[in-house]
Structure 1
Amino acid sequence: MAQASASETLGQFVATSEWGAVPDAVREAGLRSILNHLGCALGVARDPAVVTALAVMRGFAGAPVATVVGQGVRLDAMTAAFVNAVGSNLLDYDDTHLDTVIHPAAPIAPPLLALAEQRGLPGAAVIHAFLLGGEVACRIGNAVSPGHYARGWHITASCGVFGAAAGAARLLGLDAARTANAIGIAASLSGSIIENLPTAAKNVGVGNAARHGLQAALFAEAGWEAAPAAIEGRLGWAQATGGAADMAVLLDGLGTRWEIARNTFKPYPAGIVFHAVIEACLGLRETIAGADIARVEVVGDALLIARGDRVVRNARDARVSIHHCAALGFVRGRAGVPDFEQDAVDDAALAAFRAKVVAVEDAALPRGASRVRVWLGDGERFEARVDEPEGSEARPMSDAALDAKFLDNAALGGFAARGPAMLAAVRGLAQVRDVAEVMALLA
């Protein structure tokens, strides 16, 4: 008998998984991911990018069956998924699977919530489907990392579409064969590039991953097929996007070792690899308060330098800038959402400090770590290193911190008064019989 392909094995896993067999800690990880996702989407409800995305897509939308978070609008499921994915990912405040740098919730949670709202499905089914979809996305990402990302593919979108397809297939009740086809169809809908990360085109890619994943599942439900080896075949997705998939990494421990349970959450609205930079600078600021700083050297791995050694022209640059994160740590002593907006980019004091910062690569440093060296005007030198910032896998955000982040985001979006009720509703997602009850509160 021929060995099952990646799509077939993943399809079997998704279609046959039992909610009762999912460990409580993994279930909680899924709820935390969805909570963080919805909070991030609420926080940008008034952002021009979200308003524009809604305006562009609304004219082509179908029957209004799914909520656009924070907008008081319902659209068809695929369009709502697109806009909600854009919102969740907009401020670089979303979740991160650090090994792959995939942000799982943005492409996966929106189509599942939209589909469940359309079909009157319970909250527990959404959490289960999210965990299965997130597991598929992260495992495929692991199997092609780091070459896939290094080659220029925006892995959140390019792998997120597989997770969206798998999760949607689960909610649709597809059997193993049709779920495998949904994953294979998603291989033809995968895309987005890193070059566009400092622009709104990044968010289009994430939005497309959400709606294309749902589209793949719907076509599989209708009987469309994909090549069994669409992922790992000689002319399949992995080869086309950079190289062979590591099948052992992709499939070993499937169903017993949960990659999605390793998902992390950000206390700062910036790329996850910049959090150690922020915390090292915040610590040094306390040590040398008021001193005349002449030069700052930020040392990190290749990913940190490749993503963050950039000229800062706008808010999108700021959220992925070594120089801006260091400046915030030393000049402002904080790194909240307003500190990465255009007003902060234009701040003369921050701009002057950014010019003092130099980025240096050190391949010996692990991903997510940073070493910061500071020279004062008199030549004295100080140094700090952070390997595990808050929000990392080793120092996860507490439930209290995650709840506070949700409420802060709700206030940023203009929903301060309703924030506690929204939080309580999302926290109770696993118990609701119809997801529409929760989504109505978030509208």
Structure 2
Amino acid sequence: MAVDTHPFAGEALGAFVATSRWDRIEPPLRHEATRSLLNFFGGALGVAQDPAVETAARVMAPFSGSQRVTVIGRRERLDAMAASFVNTIAANLLDYDDTHLETVIHPTAAVAPPLLALAELHNLSGAEVLHAFILGAEAECRIGAAVSPGHYDRGWHITSTTGVFGAAAGCARLLGLDARQAWHALGIAASQSAGLVENLPSAAKNVGMGNAARNGLLAALMARDGYEAAPAAIEGPLGWARAMGDVPDLSRILDGLGTRWEFARNTYKPYPAGIVFHAVIDAALELRARVPAGAVESVLVEGDQLLLDRGDRPVRTERDSRVSIHHCVAVAMLRGAAGVAEFAAAAVHDRATSALRDKVRARLDTSLPRGAARVTVWDTAGQTHVALVMEARGSAARPLTDGELEAKFRDNASLGGRADKADGWVDAIWALQETADLAPLLRSMGATD
């Protein structure tokens, strides 16, 4: 009889988190982590005054403890858990964050905020935070890959449900947990995992994200002070993965751990919309050069099941528009752009946009992979025009450059009213690896007026 010699998933990840060495992290991976944080800070700055962020900060403030840290782009300071909650909501609010395409996880939003809170509290270096972030994001993506695609298909919002593991792992590293404590932190996190795809077109989605960040920090703190979890809390018969509907593929967690990096596959969005709509936008922008919007008779968008499941929906609000096939086509063809303004209320309720949305229909094409789309336009002269995009702008095959990420950061900082600080912040973020104490930079990102 064969004996299963595989370690528990949490055991392997706990050892990975506790024993990893910064000098073994290759420069390209360090650079990717820095790119991720540049993207994260910009996204949070851009919506610092959004009503959803305002509400989250107001609700959390009365319960906040005495040791307070920065809320990005805002005057008030909150305790580490509350600030993690609010900063995660901000980072994810515009659907402008990074993406691990296979799992559709946005790795940074729930993992970075609690690490930054700990860095500000304890005057930690940029290298320490970058290292912890890489480890947390890797744990998050590997656990997500082990249950994909069934987990997300069942309605679990995988960024929230796995984000809690990434936050716990990263915080375990910064708090100096040993391998066994880090294992327990991941097991405690397994009992705090939640988030629903049904809530994607509402700010309730972002509550799940915020909870992932603060619950991951809580899990690491509890483990540090002696709390324990079941050995197989992630993959056991009644553990996280199976309770949420899947028998996990443990090879996706264990194989190549520490030598092959899932996080290295991270990508960045050029458009503030769901990642699966980016190929639709690219195709529509291409077709706009051939067909004036006023000459469009009808539009067919074809893609995989995930594209249809997420985006074949009526559009009533700004949040609907960011996960709408129909709106993405309409603004790209009408305006020749798909930036923040194109998903704002004025664009959503514009009559011409609404009329063009009504001309768009969607259809499944099982031959197209995730992230691809074909858009066909029939014009009023009876001509047919087709654009097929297999790899969207911003994908691993067509990545955003450092310069494009800088421009995106500056645009978002301007949206948040902080354009005057953007250049200095860009330089400081690129220099994170050499920064001895992150606290001054983080404090500079709070509003002072």
Structure 1 length as normaliser, TM-score? 0.99
* Equivalent in 50, 72, 75 of residue 75 of structure 2: 72
| Matched residue, 1:366 | 369
| Matched residue, 1:146 | 149
The answer to whether the 8 A contact 2:291-2:379 is kept is no
For structure 2, the 5+ residue unaligned runs are: none
Matched, 1:63 2:27: no
The answer to whether the 8 A contact 2:187-2:231 is kept is yes
SS of 2:192 mapped into structure 1: coil
| Matched residue, 2:124 | 121
Q: Provide, for residues 44-99 of structure 1, a one-character-per-residue CA deviation record: whole Å limited to 9, x for no partner.
A: 01111111110111111111431100002221111100000000000000000000
| Matched residue, 1:422 | 425
Output aligned runs, 1:22-421, within 5 Å: 22-289=25-292, 292-421=295-424
The answer to whether the 8 A contact 2:293-2:334 is kept is no
Deviation, structure 1 residue 290: 5.9
SS of 1:417 mapped into structure 2: helix
Separation of aligned partners in 2, 1:299 and 1:167: 39
| Matched residue, 1:431 | 434
Runs ≥4 residues deviating over 4 A: none
Separation of aligned partners in 1, 2:360 and 2:132: 44
Q: Provide, for residues 411-431 of structure 1, a one-character-per-residue CA deviation record: whole Å limited to 9, x for no partner.
A: 000001111112222221111
The letter for the 2-side match of 1:107 is A
The letter for the 2-side match of 1:128 is H
The answer to whether the 8 A contact 1:65-1:117 is kept is no
Q: Provide, for residues 107-149 of structure 1, a one-character-per-residue CA deviation record: whole Å limited to 9, x for no partner.
A: 0000000011111111111000000000000000000000000
Q: Matched residue pairs, number?
A: 443
Separation of aligned partners in 2, 1:442 and 1:361: 44
Identity of paired residues, percent? 58
The answer to whether the 8 A contact 2:185-2:220 is kept is yes
Q: Provide, for residues 312-355 of structure 1, a one-character-per-residue CA deviation record: whole Å limited to 9, x for no partner.
A: 00000000000000001111110110110111110000000000
The answer to whether the 8 A contact 2:293-2:333 is kept is no
Q: Provide, for residues 373-420 of structure 1, a one-character-per-residue CA deviation record: whole Å limited to 9, x for no partner.
A: 011123211100001111101111000000010010000000011111
Deviation, structure 1 residue 293: 0.9
Separation of aligned partners in 1, 2:336 and 2:75: 36
The letter for the 1-side match of 2:91 is S
The letter for the 2-side match of 1:325 is C
The letter for the 1-side match of 2:158 is I
Measured on the aligned residues, the alpha-carbon RMSD in Å equals: 1.0
Q: Provide, for residues 203-241 of structure 1, a one-character-per-residue CA deviation record: whole Å limited to 9, x for no partner.
A: 000000000000000000001000110011000000001
Separation of aligned partners in 2, 1:297 and 1:169: 48
Separation of aligned partners in 2, 1:79 and 1:238: 27
SS of 1:184 mapped into structure 2: helix
For structure 1, the 5+ residue unaligned runs are: none
SS of 1:30 mapped into structure 2: helix
Deviation, structure 1 residue 363: 1.4
